[in-house]
Structure 1
Amino acid sequence: MPTDAPDFHESDDALVQEDRLWQGNGWTARVIKNEEDEGWAVAMIKDGEPEPALVGPWTMGRDKKNPKPLDVNAFNTLVKTANEVLRRHEQQLHAQLHKSVSVSTDAGQLKVNLDIVPDEDDPYATLSAWDGYGEQLASVRVAPTFKLTVASAEAWVANDYRRP
């Protein structure tokens, strides 16, 4: 028996794709009134995150009063930009928490790493030494404030890898 209604059931978790709210690819774009001026902004929120990863200006519509509606092309561009922002943030955080220097010894070049663990209750760092073959020679726990330099690495190696 044919009907005029489509034969599908929308689930509670169906994606919203409206003029000011668009969901997909693990992201939600929300067009919001810009608190600081007459314009509009768009917030990109990664699914499961409480805060937006990206907030930026949004284009005015033709009436110069309301925002331009979101569409699939704009949303895909916003997702790409927001993912790039997160990737850069992760790279910056990694650079702050993981440092490495090379030192020369009689046995050859060594790589000395400092890996900081920013635990809320008990932050610490691990100082480790690696030979040219990728074998770990030593590892000690140090304060997260330890400053890794070539000089501090050379002093640690010269002191038979005892905790500085």
Structure 2
Amino acid sequence: MTSEFTDDDTPIKQDRLWRDNGWTARVVKNEEDDGWAVEMVKDGEPEPALVGPWTMGRDKKNPKPLDVSAFNTLVKTASEVIRRHEQQLHASLHKSVYVDSADGRLEVTLDIVPDEDDPHALLAAYDVARAQLAQQRVAPTFKLSLARATAWVEGGFGKPD
């Protein structure tokens, strides 16, 4: 038996279930109150990207049916949630500072690799042409700051403290 959240690309357009363009919207009973909620799931993902309240229908008992306009708005909103999450994750895993050195302005980056078996980070230095000058493996808890980057550059790119 297949789940409603499979990679099947057959469009479904029902009052409480709508699937099209890589997304599935499902109207469900809100567990926290007497109302309804809508879940937006991107194809291939195990969890909803967005869960939010859903409007009651005219009878004040059943949910308002999904329609193309509501579905398109939900897709746009869920896509934005995913985009923000990806930006936040990228920002938390990738840091950079600029250091003025005897060889000119350098960019020092820290890229955290959140590997379950071998978490680590890579500290690297690049010149203005984006040529890598040095790279050093560091602990995933290494905190990149201007002072630490400057000390690493001035110390000849050795193992930072």
Same-fold call, TM > 0.5?
Answer: yes
Task: Give runs of ≥4 in structure 1 deviating > 3 Å.
Answer: none
Q: CA deviation at 1:132?
A: 1.4
d(CA) in 2 for partners of 1:108, 1:126 = 22
Aligned to 1:153: 149
Question: What's the CA shift string for 1:42-101, capped at 9, x where partnerless?
Answer: 000111111100000101101111100001111011001100000000000000000000
- Take 1:49 and 1:134, find their aligned partners in 2: how far apart are those partners? 35
The match for 1:24 is 20
CA–CA separation in structure 1 for the residues paired with 2:117 and 2:55: 44
Deviation of 1:107 after TM superposition, in Å, equals 1.7
TM-score between the two structures when normalised by the length of structure 2:
0.92
Partner Cα distance (1:153, 1:17) in 2:
55
| Aligned-partner residue type, residue 34 of structure 1 | N
Equivalent position of 1:135 in the other structure: 131
Matched, 1:65 2:61: yes
Task: Report the residue type matching 1:74 in the other structure.
Answer: A
5+ long unaligned stretches in structure 2: 1-7
Separation in 2 of the partners of 1:85 and 1:134? 32
Alignment partner of 1:33 is 2:33: no
CA contact (8 A) 2:9 2:21 kept: no
TM-score under structure 1 length normalisation: 0.90
Which has more radius of gyration?
1
SS class of match (1:83): helix
Separation in 2, partners of 1:49, 1:115: 26
Offset at residue 13 of structure 1 (A): 5.8
Residues 99 and 66 (structure 1 numbering): CA distance in 2 closer, same or farther, change over 3 Å?
same
Deviations 1:108-127 (A, max 9, x none): 11100000010011111100
Gaps of 5+ in 1: 1-11
RMSD of aligned residue pairs (Cα, Å): 1.1
Residues paired across the two proteins, number: 153
Of 49, 68, 93, the match for 2:89 = 93
Give the CA deviation at 1:24: 0.5
Residue 40 of structure 2 aligns with an amino acid whose one-letter code is M
Structure 1 residue 130 displacement after superposition: 0.7
| Corresponding residue SS for 1:132 | coil
Q: Which one-letter code corresponds to 1:141 in the other structure?
A: R
Q: 2:32 corresponds to which letter in structure 1?
A: E
Letter in 2 for 1:146: F
